[in-house]
Chain A
């Protein structure tokens, strides 16, 4: 077996190389097939113990990780903040040390504070996978977005991808910007200036003020969820106006000179950032994203556990 492809943890895509990102995507390819079998299980992580430590509500990401873990034959425990000692005032570092004392192998963490995944990774020996930390990164989401783009276009390099909506508060946006630029895509952002920090231009990203311009330019739109609290905090006047000015609608897509695809990390606010007939229509790759999510998470778990990409491609059928 060659040297581990990734480090101990997967905190974000910012510090990954193009080769590492590509290898994760390549490793996910054979794992896609596992989920299509009648018996959806390989023994790659048999005997490994994984804790899914979710300090924030999550349905999709948590279930996706759990399926990935189970299809790799790992033993898993879910800890949600409502039932954890965090509710009793325990600090993150104490929670981590207690888990470590139970001799676990991996932690998948979702946390409301930016930096929480790195904080945990720096303090325990187990592998840590970031399933979303505050507004910082959500690397497996961006990886599954990249895989979905690659499935559709056969490549990511040279694609024009515009991230639409509440970029400022989005960990999905940040991870996508790093992943896409690493693979040579052109990246733009579009949204109300109150939700698109000016600093993002310094990250090598162009900005569109109007959604119509973004649609005209892009090969793919990644439409972010608009949290209702953004309206309460005064970033936008109303959801209705948001849909009118920035919503991804069928009419706007119909006026574009080329076909483009629409991604959404979910959960969707139909009629706000995306109209139902777009979400359910031919432009949408939203459900393929979800399918790819399981394969990507299997790949990440497998690689962090020390597996090699070659073995995943050639050997996962053998046992």
Chain B
């Protein structure tokens, strides 16, 4: 059993309990024992002085790609979990589009066991919606949930059949899990390499119109209304999607949504002259889209921030733009980008940032953590929002380096990450 841990004198930001004050946090037997002023330390406790730092529930990311099994040259569950804790994440949800895909209880059990063996961030498997992600018939949700799956998704592929999506939403009601959809009208997006707009026109690249996403967002909202099922909309990128989600929420539909840091930080201009580290799906959009995503995070239309962490081997990105794979890593930069793009400009305060990156994903996906309430799991991040760091490729914990922020100086340094009361990341101990 780990020793009790007393975090002394930090600024405790815990939106789930309406707390933002200087206080001590005592962690004992894997749970939060107490939060308050001048707490006494048990005899065997380790005491860490965290004055001047923020103490918050550990960050939770409902959308990461850990690549194991099958693509271990890009990432493994262990390296992904190491990347997570270095970025302040204590829980990550692993998308099932590995090789083979995670569409049965044995595969779900494999991901869970690998996550537990790594002993870093909590790794929650997501199961497939359809067998083989082929979009034809439902995978065994019940068995996968029993083995530890927390949601289902065919991410990487849209669910093109509205009938299958309807069935998934209805069937998932039994287990109370969200159905997370990658919204993309496949024929409309086919062959697209970036956002359809002036930059694509200039570069001679086939564009992916915003409509390709919005058509599926609209459909999924309508199907949520039809079924009462919980649809979770992955990586929202357009202003039109934001409008549709806002309307669905006004109607009381069980629709939740996430946005990725790159979609509120960057636009299609970042593609520049064919920078493959600016190639992702959905693509970087226009300034108006970026503004809409930022506003939607601020007002809660978009519930949470999720990275869509997508590791790729360096030589896969070192190719012609058309042939380069989509996606960037994000776990180690998400907190910094949120601070830089949302908190520093005053769009949201620190407490709202923690809500969107910890409390909301825990609440919406029924995951442990996201709260420093008494008796909750002792998953905590301690960070310095004012210090800065430089994204050094040599110091990235992920097995891949495909980030558009390499070499940039960013605000927000994660000092300690604690999972189940145990320090799993200490920025000054590890290098």
Contacts and interface: CB of A to CB of B under 8 A. Distances in A.
Interface stretch (B110-118, B165-173, B312-320, B401-409): B312-320
A119 interface: yes
A136 B200 CA distance: 9
Interface in A30-48: none
A91 B315 CA distance: 9
Contacts of A111: 320
Contacts of B201: 197, 199-200, 202-203
27 contacts: A14-B202, A93-B315, A113-B320, A113-B321, A113-B322, A114-B321, A115-B203, A115-B205, A115-B320, A115-B321, A116-B320, A118-B273, A119-B274, A119-B320, A119-B321, A133-B204, A134-B204, A135-B204, A135-B206, A136-B203, A137-B204, A174-B202, A174-B204, A199-B198, A200-B201, A202-B201, A203-B201
Interface in B254-313: 273-274
B318 A115 contact: no
Interface string B377-392: 0000000000000000
A247 B413 CA distance: 63
A92 B197 CA distance: 27
A171 interface: yes
A134 B205 CA distance: 8
A92 B322 contact: no
Contacts of A136: 203-205
Interface residues of B, number: 18
A239 to B, nearest CB: 22
Contacts of B322: 113-115, 134
Nearest to B200: A199
Contacts of A134: 204-205, 322
B206 to A, nearest CB: 8
Nearest to A171: B204
A114 B319 contact: no
Interface in B160-185: none
A190 to B, nearest CB: 16
A203 B320 contact: no
Contacts of A115: 203, 205, 273-274, 320-322
A197 B318 CA distance: 29
B204 A92 contact: no
Contact of A114 (B197, B274, B315, B318): B274
Closest 5 CB pairs of A and B: A136-B204, A135-B204, A115-B274, A113-B320, A199-B201
Nearest to A234: B187
Contacts of B197: 199
B323 interface: yes
Contacts of A91: 315, 318-319
Interface of A: 14, 91-93, 111, 113-116, 118-119, 133-137, 171, 174, 197, 199-200, 202-203
Interface of B: 197-198, 200-206, 273-274, 315, 318-323
A136 B198 CA distance: 13
Contacts of B204: 114, 133-137, 171, 174
Contacts of B274: 114-115, 118-119
Contacts of A119: 274, 319-321
Given A135-B205, A137-B204, A200-B201, 18 more contacts: A91-B315, A91-B319, A113-B320, A114-B322, A115-B205, A115-B273, A115-B274, A115-B320, A118-B273, A119-B274, A119-B321, A133-B204, A134-B322, A135-B206, A171-B204, A174-B202, A199-B197, A203-B202
A201 B197 CA distance: 11
Contacts of A171: 204
A114 B319 CA distance: 11
A134 B203 CA distance: 9
A210 B405 CA distance: 47
Contacts of A114: 203-205, 274, 321-322
Among A115, A119, A197, the most chain B Cβ lie within 10 Å of the Cβ of A115
A113 B323 contact: yes
Contact of B319 (A92, A135, A199): A92
A200 B197 CA distance: 9
A187 to B, nearest CB: 14
A197 B204 CA distance: 11
Nearest to B316: A91
Contacts of B206: 135
A89 to B, nearest CB: 12
A91 B320 CA distance: 9
A114 B315 CA distance: 18
Contacts of A135: 204-206
A11 to B, nearest CB: 9
Contacts of A203: 198, 201-202
A25 to B, nearest CB: 23
A116 B320 CA distance: 6
Nearest to A14: B202
Contacts of A113: 320-323
Nearest to B275: A115
Contact of B318 (A93, A116, A200): A93
B186 to A, nearest CB: 15
Contacts of A174: 202, 204
Among A91, A114, A135, A199, the most chain B Cβ lie within 10 Å of the Cβ of A114
A200 B207 CA distance: 14
B283 to A, nearest CB: 15
Contacts of B323: 113
A134 B320 CA distance: 10
A137 B204 CA distance: 8
A93 B202 contact: no
A114 B323 CA distance: 10
Contacts of A133: 204
Among B204, B205, B319, the most chain A Cβ lie within 10 Å of the Cβ of B204
A202 B273 contact: no
Nearest to B315: A91
A202 B203 CA distance: 14
Nearest to A91: B319
A194 B320 CA distance: 26
A93 B205 CA distance: 20
B188 to A, nearest CB: 12
Contacts of A197: 201
A195 to B, nearest CB: 12
B320 A92 contact: yes
Contacts of B203: 114-115, 136
Contacts of A137: 204
A111 B320 CA distance: 10
Nearest to B322: A113
